[in-house]
A and B are shown apart, each in its own frame.
Chain A
Amino acid sequence: MTPALEIKDLQKIYKGDFHALKGISLSVEQGDFFALLGPNGAGKSTTIGVITSLVNKTSGTVKVFGHDIDKALETAKSFIGLVPQEFNFNQFESLTRILVNQAGYYGVERNIAHKRAEKYLKQLDLWEKRDTPARMLSGGMKRRLMIARALMHEPKVLILDEPTAGVDIELRRSMWEFLRELNAEGITIILTTHYLEEAEMLCRNIAIIDNGQIVENTSMKQLLATLDIETFILDLPANSIQATLNDFSYRQIDDHTLEVDVKKTQGLNSVFAQLSEQGVQVLSMRNKSNRLEELFVRLVANKEPAA
């Protein structure tokens, strides 16, 4: 099957000789939920800018559903829906007008566009605000408006650049649910995010960019499988005795918190057994940090490009 997105040896050198992309190659299959991660300034937004023609590439090829942006730019663009990082709609226009005009740019007749605007505004809980100027919306509403706008021409691939930045947890989770539904309907989704938990929960495949290069490009499962140590925080009763754990690396943070590094081969039973023997009760336990976050930090710190 033709990939939804295929990038080969993409380079971007900005004025002043800043080498933002140093030969990025990646492929996103149709129907995928794909995460593009990287620290600030790594090249995520530049990559998205090139795909959507907001940034002129220096060299390399980009194909959207097999259509090369150098040869069939307008066809390639018609497949893409973009939710950019910054708010970029007319702040003085009403929500309905923003959506209907956007659909018009893709050749959607106004009567059809009005029906779609109603559908997406209702789905994204913005219907009550349909005649309100966009500047009057809250930050979360503005983010949802940009998602609705990106869907107006019913794209086959939806690219979201930090869609949940600054959004509260409840709203973030409802947006995740909405994106999952879109993906289940067959829309390919490419997501950049700073919330690694978000990528881990939603995405099946992942590429990590650092310093303009891909340092990892694999499935989420495979990536997480490479993690051989997890750190657990054990909550103990106040004034617990100093516990000792053989064969484990551990740290007593204070009189009621113990931090233990557990290798995949070791398991947790031995930790509990040793603590029980010493009469130390474990009240609760949690992961120290998100698993993907640990991998991300490690990969970005290594700065080794993927083969």
Chain B
Amino acid sequence: MMSSTNFIALKSILHKEVHRFMRIWVQTLVPPAITISLYFVIFGSLIGSRIGQMGGFDYMSFIVPGLIMMSVITNSYSNVASSFFSAKWQRNVEEMLVAPVPNWVIVAGYVGGGMSRGILVGCIVTLIALFFTDIQIHNIWVILLTVSLTSAVFALGGLINAVFAGSFDDISIIPTFVLTPLTYLGGVFYSISLLPPFWQGVSQINPIVYMVNAFRYGFLGISDVELSTAFTVLGIFIIGLWATAMYLIKKGIGLRS
């Protein structure tokens, strides 16, 4: 059971994290809104109208869940990566390390902060999408569960990235060279059933395919993968990344001499 001391410590880290991205909202909330608006205009309205239907829905409706998920992924990841690395760089991470804060509270606090920003940006993008198309909801619980688990996965990823990072360049390498390609190839803009069999097989090792499809199922009721498989993949990633993050913080990798 969580002691009141740990609960207050967790609230403090969460409070600090949410305040951080709200304080710099021009850097954290506005850019994804503008970027996703451009996607809606270009891929949805301009090009989408020529593409026709995808998976039985007009192209704009098809890409909306993927674009929301894309913004959730990038924002939950980058929030923790930049915040935790900045705390390391300014050494104010020591404020937590010298205090009686258990490692799991530190990890949960930062992950909670990353999830908050990811989900908030997801809500903003959803509101913007309403200007371009009607949004239908097939199963709200699948939407909420998928967005929560996915943001947790990438917040944990961002934390691990920040632990290893030695410079600000190191926290942009993974998003640029790993996250962006995986997201673009993760079925945001197309159904993987359109790919040749070989590339369909390759796509199945991309975890983002499962997240995007589970999320799309919540809105449209269609998916390229089994829902149970998608949640199993999410569960495995969360357990694996949580264990890794806990091990790194306990060992003090990049934090203690």
Q: Is B134 an interface residue (CB 8 A)?
A: no
B54 contacts partner chain A, Cβ-Cβ < 8 Å = no
Q: Give residues 72-127 of B contacting A (CB, 8 Å).
A: 87, 90-92, 94-102
Chain B nearest Cβ from A93, distance in angstroms: 8
> Does A106 sit at the interface, judged by CB under 8 A?
yes
Q: Chain A, 52-77, contact with B by CB distance < 8 Å: what is the 0/1 string?
A: 11111000000000000000011101
A90: Cβ under 8 A from any B Cβ: yes
* Inter-chain contacts of B6 with A (CB < 8 A): 107
- Of the candidates B8, B91, B96, B97, the one whose C-beta lies within 8 Å of that of A107 is B8
Chain A residue nearest to B8 in the complex (CB): A107
Contact for B98 among A54, A56, A86, A103, CB less than 8 A: A54
Q: Known interface pairs A90-B87, A101-B15, A105-B101. Does A54 touch B94 (Cβ–Cβ under 8 Å)?
A: yes
Say whether B4 faces chain A, with CB atoms less than 8 Å apart. yes
Q: Quick one: closest B residue to A150, CB to CB?
A: B98
- State how many angstroms separate the Cβ of A63 from the closest Cβ of chain B: 16
Q: Which residue of A lies closest to B11 (CB)?
A: A104
A interface residues, how many (CB within 8 angstroms): 36
Q: How far is the CA of A104 from the CA of B5 in the complex (A)?
A: 8
User: Measured between alpha carbons, how far is A49 from B257 in the docked complex, in Å?
Assistant: 9
A82 at the interface (CB under 8 A from B): yes
A106 to B257, CA, bound (A): 23
The complex places the Cα of A110 from the Cα of B12 at a distance, in Å, of 9
Q: For residue B94, which residue of chain A has the nearest CB?
A: A88
A80 in contact with B15 (CB, 8 Å): no
| CB atoms of A101 and B16 under 8 A apart | yes
Q: Report if A14 contacts B (CB, 8 A).
A: yes
Contact of B256 among A55, A97, A103, A108 (CB under 8 A): A55
Are A55 and B257 in touch, CB under 8 angstroms? yes
On whether A74 and B95 interact (CB within 8 A), knowing A104-B12, A104-B15, the answer reads no
Chain A positions within 8 Å of B19 at CB level: 97
Contacting residues, chain B, for A100 (C-beta < 8 A): 12
B221 at the interface (CB under 8 A from A): no
* Minimal Cβ-Cβ distance residue in A for B4: A107
A77 touches B99 (CB 8 A): yes
> Least Cβ distance of B99 to chain A in Å?
4
> Would you call A88 and B252 a contact (CB within 8 A)?
no
Asked if A78 is an interface residue, CB under 8 A from chain B, the answer is yes
B8 to A89, Cβ gap below 8 A?
no
Q: Which residues of chain A have C-beta atoms less than 8 A from B153's C-beta?
A: none
Interface residues of A in 148-206 (CB under 8 A from B): 149, 153
Contacts of A108 in B (CB 8 A): 8
B99 in complex: contacting residue of A55, A89, A106, CB < 8 Å: A106
Cβ of A306 to closest chain B Cβ, rounded Å = 26
Bound: A109/B5 CA distance, A: 9
A289 at the interface (CB under 8 A from B): no
Provided the pairs A104-B9, A106-B5, A107-B6 are in contact, do residues A74 and B92 lie with their beta carbons within 8 angstroms?
no
Please, which residue of chain B has its CB at the minimum distance from the CB of A90? Answer: B92
**Contact assessment for A89 and B92 in the assembled complex, using a CB-CB cutoff below 8 Å:** yes
CB neighbours (8 Å) of B87 from chain A are 90
Contacts of A14 in B (CB 8 A): 257
Give bound CA distance, A104 to B96, whole Å: 10
Contact B102 A88 (CB under 8 A): no
A218 at the interface (CB under 8 A from B): no
Distance in angstroms from B101 CB to nearest chain A CB is: 5
Nearest-CB residue, chain A, relative to B24:
A92
Q: Is the pair A105, B9 in contact by a Cβ cutoff of 8 Å?
A: yes
Taking a contact as CB atoms closer than 8 A, the residue among B4, B91, B99 that contacts A88 in the complex is: B91
| Cα separation A91 to B8 with both chains bound (whole Å) | 23
Instruction: Please measure, in the bound complex, the distance between the C-alpha atom of A33 and the C-alpha atom of B9, giving whole angstroms.
Output: 30
Min C-beta distance of A254 to chain B, whole Å: 49
What's the minimum C-beta distance from A143 to chain B, rounded to whole angstroms?
15
Q: List, in ascending order, chain A residues with CB within 8 A of B256's CB.
A: 53-56
Closest to A74 in B: B100
Q: Is the CB of B257 within 8 A of A78?
A: no
| Nearest CB on B from A14, distance (A) | 7
Distance in angstroms between the alpha carbons of A97 and B13 in the assembled complex: 12
Interface membership of chain B positions 6-48, coded 1 if the CB is closer than 8 angstroms to chain A and 0 otherwise: 1011011101100100010000000000000000000000000
Also in contact, A105 and B4, with CB within 8 A (given A49-B257, A90-B87): no
Q: Contact at A86–B91, with CB atoms within 8 Å?
A: yes
| Bound-complex Cα distance A103 to B16 (A) | 12
Contact A75 B94 (CB under 8 A): no
Most central of B4, B87, B99, B256 by chain A CB within 10 Å: B99
Write out the residue numbers on chain A whose beta carbons fall within 8 Å of the beta carbon of B100.
73-75, 77-78, 105-107
Interfacial chain A residues near B5, Cβ < 8 Å: 106-107
List the A residue with the shortest CB-CB distance to B96: A105
Give me the 5 closest cross-chain CB pairs, A-B, nearest first: A104-B12, A107-B5, A105-B99, A74-B100, A88-B91
Which A residues have a C-beta under 8 Å from some C-beta of B?
A: 14, 46, 49, 52-56, 73-75, 77-78, 80, 82, 84, 86, 88-92, 97, 100-110, 149, 153
